[in-house]
Chains A and B, each alone.
Chain A
Amino acid sequence: MSDSKIITNAPAPEGIQGEGFFAGKLSDVVGMARANSLWPLPFATSCCGIEFMATMASHYDVARFGSERMSFSPRQADMLLVMGTIAKKMAPILRQVYEQMAEPRWVISVGACACSGGIFDTYSVLQGIDKIIPVDVYVPGCPPRPEQILDGIMRLQDLVRSESVRRRSSPEYTELLASYNIK
């Protein structure tokens, strides 16, 4: 493993660089900062939660992607990871957790159950969390491997990096939330 190189800094965003200064777009810098310090809120209900445990443990180490701190309080979290089956009894609670999160907030739906109900096409299971909250990234799998969860987080980082700083106050976003009846 001697030839592996550890990269410690993210590539600089687009801009003009010179001796002692850097001029670029504010949204790029904000995006970069946000993307590399996503604080996850693990909302683990079942099997996928165990795979997430593996993801955050030593072998896969999600902390490498700027998600060192698991935030179990929704108020200090940026990224809601919904892992596992969400039963109808659980749905209002998930929604409440989402509402408690401060903007900007992102949601990753991990696993087949959270994405679509998975194999549990039954009277008691919510057929996909996108029925109640908006979702940014879907990770398929039953359960997804830790690599897949990491990939989902990296896809989300791409989204976050390119997101405009004004998106959260745009009418489209307000409309999106209104369609879910979230204030």
Chain B
Amino acid sequence: MSDLLLPPELRYADIIEKRKNEDGSELSILNLGPTHPATHGIFQNILLMDGERIVEGEGTVGYIHRAFEKIAENRPFYQITPLTDRMNYCSSPINNMGWWMTLEKALNIEVPKRAQYLRVIVMELARIADHIICNSVLGVDTGALTGFLYVFQYREKIYEIYEEICGARLTTNMGRIGGFERDWSPLAFEKLNILLEEFPPIWQEFENLLARNRIFMDRTIDVGPISAEKAISYGFTGPNLRAAGVDYDIRVMQPYSSYEDFEFDIPVGKSGDTYDRFCVRNAEVWESLKIIKQALAKLPEGPYHADVPDYYLPPKDEVYHNMEALIYHFKIVMGEVPVPVTEVYHPVEGGNGELGFYLVTNGSRTPYRLHFRRPCFIYYQAFNEMVKGQMLSDAIATLSSLNVIAGELDA
């Protein structure tokens, strides 16, 4: 049996036995998690410590494994959206839209421009909400609670916009195959305009509070760095990869939902450390605001969903009064819709990287196999290597800046 298959505490006990420091001090084992408050989510890391310094570590995940992929194999297509919500719950709309776009690709459905633009707006809002959490909590972990309390007010405002669009705050279950379930209300646009007006100065203030703050800089610069080559090999995507200096962004590489219509920059960092990740996310919020403004200005009139009666639930009013609509309603709800035998992979730029959906269908009402490419799961494996040789408190800041979401990690 290979050494690595042993539980880490046994392996480390051996190392402690063998290795004594010159001054007579010993190494020790520290169990970080799974309920540690600073880990934001439930990850366990068993660390071999030399005083305050991490010698080695091993992570255990799966504490919130909910068997998404197994459930997906047993549910009709439209019932899978609630699962995607609960994957990266900080930015549910991106997951929802990614899933609808995957289905639309499999079913060859063309989505009208208006719906595409609305999707872009809501996805960028979700990105802002995601980055607000990540960056403000990074502030909390380095000892600045104020920023968190301050910007969370505006996260609430984003939630209010979601509520206007779909009625839910966090797990949105938004949209339909081919577009949205209803057009956005004027109030949604009004709230969006208020947000666009009020949020930038707040975010600027938040940035001023931390970005050139000596304490914050000392706590984050050169903490948990990763080189670009390592990051690519470890499968990093999203802001964490961009912080290492690689300008890989699905929105530009493979534009979906009309991202090619908008002008925006991809912020990149240099050293891939915690500070760079913070700055990249900050800058991305500005880019997202830019995209939303452009999308609002260019928002075309027209239908908000594709004309696909086979897949798009008819309006309730028609279901009650119209035979055709009732039949379609039944067929869709019971999952008796024609599905071609095919396989698709569709990536979207999620809050923390390339969120991919690999869907294999066999013509039945449920997917034959649905695999989620969950960015957190893939890049979290680099964590223990990134914090090797660092202080324990740096490990917390690194974990926080990687924005690992337990729900996405454990599926």
Touching chains A and B, CB distance < 8 Å? yes
| Residues in chain B near residue A58, CB distance under 8 A | 149-150, 152-153
Which residues in chain A, 72-106, are within 8 Å of chain B measured between CB atoms?
72, 84-87, 89-90, 93, 97
Closest residue of B by beta carbon distance from A88? B65
Which residues in chain B, 45-68, are within 8 Å of chain A measured between CB atoms?
62-67
| Residues in chain A near residue B86, CB distance under 8 A | 46-47, 119
Contact of B156 among A47, A54, A123 (CB under 8 A): A54
Is A57's CB under 8 angstroms from B152's CB? Answer: yes
Q: A122 contacts the other chain (Cβ, under 8 Å)? A: yes
Q: B142 contacts the other chain (Cβ, under 8 Å)? A: no
Q: Check A57/B42 contact, CB under 8 A, given A45-B64, A47-B171, A90-B64.
A: no
CA A97 – CA B410 in complex, angstroms?
A: 22
| Residues in chain A near residue B67, CB distance under 8 A | 120, 122-125
Is B171's CB under 8 angstroms from A143's CB? Answer: yes
Contact of B407 among A46, A70, A124 (CB under 8 A): A46
Q: Check A51/B65 contact, CB under 8 A, given A45-B406, A97-B35.
A: no
Is A84's CB under 8 angstroms from B64's CB? Answer: yes
Is A50's CB under 8 angstroms from B66's CB? Answer: no
| Residues in chain A near residue B153, CB distance under 8 A | 57-59
**Could you tell me the distance in whole angstroms from the C-beta of A37 to the nearest C-beta in chain B?**
20
**Could you tell me the distance in whole angstroms from the C-beta of A72 to the nearest C-beta in chain B?**
4
Is A87's CB under 8 angstroms from B89's CB? Answer: no
Q: Is the interface of A mostly helix, strand, loop or mixed?
A: loop
Q: How many residues of B contact A (CB 8 A)?
A: 35
CA A142 – CA B70 in complex, angstroms?
A: 20
**Could you tell me the distance in whole angstroms from the C-beta of B135 to the nearest C-beta in chain A?**
14
Question: Could you mark each residue 133-148 of chain A with 1 if its beta carbon is under 8 Å from any beta carbon of chain B, else 0?
Answer: 0000000001101000
CA A49 – CA B149 in complex, angstroms?
A: 16
**Contact residues on A (Cβ < 8 Å of other chain), bracket:** 20 to 34
Q: Check A87/B65 contact, CB under 8 A, given A45-B41, A45-B42.
A: yes
| Residues in chain B near residue A45, CB distance under 8 A | 41-42, 63-64, 406
Is B66's CB under 8 angstroms from A57's CB? Answer: no
| Residues in chain A near residue B314, CB distance under 8 A | none
| Residues in chain A near residue B85, CB distance under 8 A | 47
Is A89's CB under 8 angstroms from B89's CB? Answer: no
Contact of A120 among B42, B71, B90, B171 (CB under 8 A): B71
Closest residue of A by beta carbon distance from B75? A119
Is B35's CB under 8 angstroms from A46's CB? Answer: no
**Could you tell me the distance in whole angstroms from the C-beta of A114 to the nearest C-beta in chain B?**
12
| Residues in chain B near residue A123, CB distance under 8 A | 67, 70
Is B171's CB under 8 angstroms from A89's CB? Answer: no
CA A61 – CA B41 in complex, angstroms?
A: 21
CA A97 – CA B63 in complex, angstroms?
A: 15
Q: B201 contacts the other chain (Cβ, under 8 Å)? A: no
Is A87's CB under 8 angstroms from B63's CB? Answer: yes
Is A87's CB under 8 angstroms from B35's CB? Answer: no
Which residues in chain B, 75-93, are within 8 Å of chain A measured between CB atoms?
82-83, 85-86, 89-90
| Residues in chain A near residue B64, CB distance under 8 A | 45-46, 84-87, 90
Q: A159 contacts the other chain (Cβ, under 8 Å)? A: no
| Residues in chain A near residue B407, CB distance under 8 A | 46-47
Is A90's CB under 8 angstroms from B63's CB? Answer: yes
| Residues in chain A near residue B63, CB distance under 8 A | 45, 87, 89-90, 93
Top 4 A-B pairs, shortest CB-CB distance: A72-B37, A57-B152, A47-B89, A122-B67
A binding-site residues for B, Cβ under 8 Å: 42-47, 49-51, 53-54, 57-59, 70, 72, 84-87, 89-90, 93, 97, 119-120, 122-125, 142-143, 145
Instruction: Sample 17 A-B pairs with CB under 8 A, ordered by A number.
Output: A46-B89, A47-B171, A50-B170, A53-B152, A54-B159, A57-B149, A58-B152, A58-B153, A70-B37, A72-B36, A86-B64, A87-B65, A87-B410, A89-B63, A124-B65, A143-B170, A145-B169
> What 10 additional pairs, Cβ within 8 angstroms, besides A59-B156, A124-B66?
A45-B406, A46-B406, A47-B89, A47-B171, A50-B133, A59-B152, A85-B66, A119-B86, A120-B67, A122-B71
